[in-house]
Chains A and B, each alone.
Chain A
Amino acid sequence: MIAYHLIYIFFGLGVLAGGVNVVAQKNPVNSAISLLFTFMCVAALYILHGSPFLAMIQIIVYAGAILILVVFTIMLLALREPGRGLGKFWTMPQKLAALIVGAALAVELAIVAVQGLGDLAAPAGASLAEIASPATLGKALFSKYLLPFEVASVLLLVAIVGAVVLTRRPHGTAAAIDAPHADETIAPPAGDEQGGQA
């Protein structure tokens, strides 16, 4: 049991250290990799809580789809000068706004954590492995929570259509001929998110 707690604390500290490092790094790519580290540590925490399914989804969706898109964007924008950080572009009002939003989020999290402490006990008559198994989650998702699930997929579909519309240029312009695979480069993350969710 001691070993469990030590491992738990290790990954918990990893989440915190990664999160702090995301903000502290000058280079945006380093920040993104810190964020990757944080996601992995969160996945490890899910596993320690007995839910490998959530852990895997966490890695596939956040690390495999969303963060990859972020890294792509950073690399495409900073193409000319690798190593130039975004840190110096932050003005004082921006820093202040970030501080306020961050503090609000922290308070919110604290409230949720305190309120949630009462609900920690698992329902009687079922083992943790059963509750967290993909089969149980799947059944719940397609019966009790079918409507939110479908609404979320429609939302993602709207996002995909939006991305396609935004990247589409009018036919016949020079740009459309010039960049035949612009659509395809933008499209993957949107589709991948959908694949990860489904």
Chain B
Amino acid sequence: MPVAITGSSMVSCLGGLDETFEALLAGRSGVSPLRTGDPDKLNVHYAYSIDDAGAASKGTASGGPASTGRASTGTGLGTDPASNDEAGPRSAGRWLAHCVAEALRDAGVDPAERRVAVIVGTGLREHRAVEQWHGDGAELRLAQTHFTEAVRSVAPDVTEVHTLANACAASGYALALAVDLLELGEADAVVAAGCDTMTESMLTMIGRVGTTTADTVRPFDADRDGVLLGEGAVAVVVERTERTAKNRPALGLVRGVGVGCDAHHETAPDLAGIVATMRDAHRRAGVAPGEIGLVVAHGTATALNDPTEAAALVEAFGPDGPPVTGIKGAIGHTSGGAALMSVLVALKAMRSGVVPPVVGLRTPIPEAEKLALVNGQPLRARPRVAQVNAFGFGGVNAVTIVEAVDV
């Protein structure tokens, strides 16, 4: 059963979807010197962080972070829940609340009138707030450690809010469950979302286990130096196609989402598990690999992910597979939000007929020589069906198949 995406909103270090997409096309990276923690102690010097201090003016200038502007109220980030002021803990929940509200407005869905469930995928939950409580004496209430309160602050009538900590595949998992809830008839609309704020503890681990001195993320590049963290939030509203409000064109269709677990290694990806999840997604979507015209890869630029993902794509698609791009060179690894942000970029690329290049890529790794990586310049193409990969720590995989809609 196809499911329509009827509303969306995202916030990355580059702004909303439009600003993010423009930067991708221009090959521009949102990386900046690390502002969370002590870079020397962390052994990490760059990140793709959201500049809260400058958010108000940036938000006003760009008309807010709404992805489409269709239903934006025009509130700037400075007065919005999306803003994190310097005094309180940096909260992913505030970016999330902003995106959930925007996506519901965009879709014209009112939770007071219909059964709307919310599923939030996150990697690091509100651990930044926990760190600031533990290390800096910031105030914290227990209910702020998950996302129910943040969601209900903008959508008090939703039937249920789930916080899923599914690492870097979290919002892909959220979308899978959203589709399931619609198919089972247990909700009329579902908001699938993702969010994360970078934490000093995760930065510590990246600086500790990596050999990285990376100043930017270079997915599939022979000289890649590992991953850098991004942050932000994303939300989409999904509804059964026959139930969508009239005169509201869908942004795209979710054909199917495959989810699974490698059950292989705590941090390393596994070729067999990834290929199995891709095939599960194809089966659920009812598509053959040859019908897929675009892949937005997970592409983290780590030593292990990129060659494993490249091999999996070659195994799933053969040597003449579709164009492959990725977004982490521009906005970093946004963890919980990564899957859905990639979904929105895939849908925008299909609507606009331009596929952005892999920002940061120069010379592809040998394992990717059989992949049609979009390198250097945007690619003019009109794919109709796209695949979005998301793989997380613990071997949790989510692969989404989306289809373009004629507007």
A and B interact: no
Binding site for A on B (CB under 8 A): none
